[in-house]
Structure 1
Amino acid sequence: MAKSRRTKHPEVGGIAHLEHVNFEVDSHDMVSIFFMAGLGFTRDPYTRSDEKNMAANVGLQQFHLPRLGRPTPPMQGVIGLITPELEAIKARMKGLQKEGLFKGTPFRYQVKKGYHEVMSPFGVKMRLHQTGTLPFPKVLGMPYVDIPVEPGKAEPILNFYKRIMRSTGSIEKVSGKKAACVTMGPYQWTRFIETKGLDSYDNHTFHIAYYVSNYNEVLDEIERNKGVIAGGQNQIFFFEDIFDPDNGDLIYSLQNEVRSFYHEDFMRPLVNRWPMSDEPFSVQRDPNREKARQQGIMPGPWDN
């Protein structure tokens, strides 16, 4: 029998799309300086933007950056980003730092082996990977979020997402540490990494948001455990207790925003300026189509 030549990609499972991370900031001016002028991302023109709300687009993902008077404490995890032209980003960040625009913040930019590491002025660490260095289907996006957890938590957390969300995932080594790698979209993961000596950390103002295929089933299970903290209508709800599906015991607390495929924002086209000097849409078409072809993925209608 002839050997199949089809390209095999990891199964996605019940969580289809990691859409955004949310953390609170104390200055939208600093958001514009760091995310737009530095990283080259784009302020979402269609999300409600006022003195309290702002969103920055990165491919098909976003940062939601509300200013509500309680900025998120420095985060112990890492947000991974795929982005082109790392050297240009480094140069822009260096220029902004030289102007003193990050003075008084924890901002730091370091070139590491294989990636660039940025401590944002908000205390949230980001890891920048050059387009093409990770198996991610777009030239710009958010392939992973790393969350440190106490030793012994990885397997129970993975069991929760597999049982409740029908997600796929596996236990892997990440930088030598045991991690629950929960699949949250095509080549997207939230990685819960077992880490010794964690400081006490209140992460109630940080959350991850994703879309699930079995929304009603997930909502029923979370409600049964009295875990819904907001929502439940309009195809969206929030919970923060990751629990043992067999007995309801708390495993870990992290706010999750869960959306249905019927939510109005599901796969909404997002405006991205890349390169920064060009208009937003047509310049992305050819790189995205070529990237899709290289990985054996059929380009979507938004790439035509």
Structure 2
Amino acid sequence: MNQPSMNRAATNEAYDRHAESLGHVVELQHVNIRVPDQIAATNFYISGLGLTRDPYLMTGTDNMWANVGISQFHLPSGAPQVLRGTTALVLPDRAALLRRLAGQRRNLEGTRFAFRETEDAVETICPWGNRIRVHAPDAARFGAISLGMPYVEFDVPAGTTPGIARFYREILQAPATAEGGVARALVANGQYLVFRETDAPQPDYDGHHIQITLADFGGPHARLKQAGLISEESNPWQYRFLDIVDPGTGVALFRVEHEVRSMTHPLYARPLVNRNASINNRNYRPGHEAWPFALPPEPG
């Protein structure tokens, strides 16, 4: 009897099984940056970029969670924080984005707000100086993401990227590479932390943070604790660390707080509401309010 074709396919040695490995980091959930003005933040992140304010959590006037696909910006009120690098987004319509941003010029006059087109992106600056690079969906570069946060890129000192890649590989057990002054760590399906070397002077770290989720929650904690790197034991499902160090020497290479959660955290993989930013009261059509964060399937 002939074996079913699916069995033959399953033994095809042409598959690269390492290509689909995620390591132990399974979620890049949010970038947290304090903002001094919630109205200006709404004008930029919601009205300008076209993101969606989370309708269920942080709905008051002292914090805002802005949904972008399966990730978020967390924007609590306070002295402004500026990420030392660039947060990248994928948004579905460049022309609509440019119209929305242009429409916020008057509302954000007198701030650092700016935007410009490049060949493959729209480079924006928030009212307090955070750089956000907006790409169009591109299956070759970003996989199936039609709305999301494909990478967060940090500016780091020259010579640090090999050690940074070792840190993510050995301490967090995330696939990571370093080449040509750039380190890339895979921290979720289709999402990366990128570290790009620069000689330009950088401001002091101001307390902004990112949040990741680990499948192996205890192993990295033990290695971080042994190295004296745990900065906060938050609760049963969460801890934090500040410094990225070279695992071989212990030398600190870069500081950015990582809020680390377990997959048993109550907020892990919480479904997020994402609106279709092109819908308004003049062009409304029932059934088109939401925007899927993944590209549609291929025909057939």
TM-score of the superposition, structure 2-length normalised? 0.86
Matching of residue 148 in structure 1 with residue 155 in structure 2? yes
Contact map agreement 2:51 2:277 (CA 8 A) in 1: no
Q: Which residue of 1 aligns with 2:50?
A: 40
Rounded Cα–Cα distance in structure 2 between residues aligned with 1:43 and 1:280: 19
Rounded Cα–Cα distance in structure 1 between residues aligned with 2:118 and 2:137: 16
Q: Which residue of 1 aligns with 2:125?
A: 119
Rounded Cα–Cα distance in structure 2 between residues aligned with 1:219 and 1:122: 34
Matching of residue 168 in structure 1 with residue 179 in structure 2? no
Rounded Cα–Cα distance in structure 1 between residues aligned with 2:275 and 2:289: 10
Judging changes above 3 Å, is the alpha-carbon distance between structure 1 residues 121 and 215 closer, same or farther for their aligned structure 2 residues? Answer: same
Matching of residue 190 in structure 1 with residue 193 in structure 2? yes
Question: Of 181, 184, 203, which aligns to 2:184?
Answer: 181
Q: Which residue of 1 aligns with 2:32?
A: 22
Q: Which residue of 2 aligns with 1:88?
A: 96
Question: Of 204, 212, 215, which aligns to 1:213?
Answer: 215
Contact map agreement 1:81 1:144 (CA 8 A) in 2: yes
Counterpart of 1:120, as a letter, is C
Q: Deviations over 1:11-36 (max 9, x none)?
A: 32111111110111111101111111
Contact map agreement 1:10 1:187 (CA 8 A) in 2: no
The answer to which of 264-273 and 242-251 deviates more is 242-251
Contact map agreement 1:22 1:205 (CA 8 A) in 2: no
Q: Which residue of 2 aligns with 1:105?
A: 111
Contact map agreement 2:146 2:295 (CA 8 A) in 1: no
Counterpart of 1:128, as a letter, is V
Contact map agreement 1:22 1:207 (CA 8 A) in 2: yes
Matches within 5 A, 1:149-298: 149-173=156-180, 178-199=181-202, 201-277=203-279, 283-284=290-291, 288=294, 290-291=296-297, 293=298
SS in 2 for 1:157: helix
Deviation at residue 282 of structure 1 after TM alignment: 7.5
CA-based RMSD = 2.4
Deviation at residue 102 of structure 1 after TM alignment: 1.2
The answer to which of 1-10 and 46-55 deviates more is 1-10
The total of aligned residue pairs comes to 283
SS in 2 for 1:103: coil
TM-score of the superposition, structure 1-length normalised? 0.85
Gaps of 5+ in 2: 1-7
Question: Of 62, 68, 82, which aligns to 1:58?
Answer: 68
Contact map agreement 2:30 2:72 (CA 8 A) in 1: yes
Contact map agreement 2:183 2:196 (CA 8 A) in 1: yes
Rounded Cα–Cα distance in structure 2 between residues aligned with 1:203 and 1:57: 25
Deviation at residue 182 of structure 1 after TM alignment: 0.7
SS in 1 for 2:250: coil
Q: Which residue of 2 aligns with 1:79?
A: 87
Counterpart of 2:80, as a letter, is P
Counterpart of 1:131, as a letter, is P
Q: Deviations over 1:232-280 (max 9, x none)?
A: 4231111101123344332221111111000111110000102442689
Contact map agreement 2:144 2:295 (CA 8 A) in 1: no
Rounded Cα–Cα distance in structure 2 between residues aligned with 1:289 and 1:105: 35
Judging changes above 3 Å, is the alpha-carbon distance between structure 1 residues 77 and 131 closer, same or farther for their aligned structure 2 residues? Answer: same
Deviation at residue 137 of structure 1 after TM alignment: 2.4
Deviation at residue 83 of structure 1 after TM alignment: 0.6
Rounded Cα–Cα distance in structure 1 between residues aligned with 2:201 and 2:125: 18
Deviation at residue 126 of structure 1 after TM alignment: 0.7
Counterpart of 1:110, as a letter, is R
Deviation at residue 172 of structure 1 after TM alignment: 3.5
Deviation at residue 139 of structure 1 after TM alignment: 1.1
Structure exhibiting the larger radius of gyration computed from Cα positions:
2
Rounded Cα–Cα distance in structure 1 between residues aligned with 2:61 and 2:142: 37
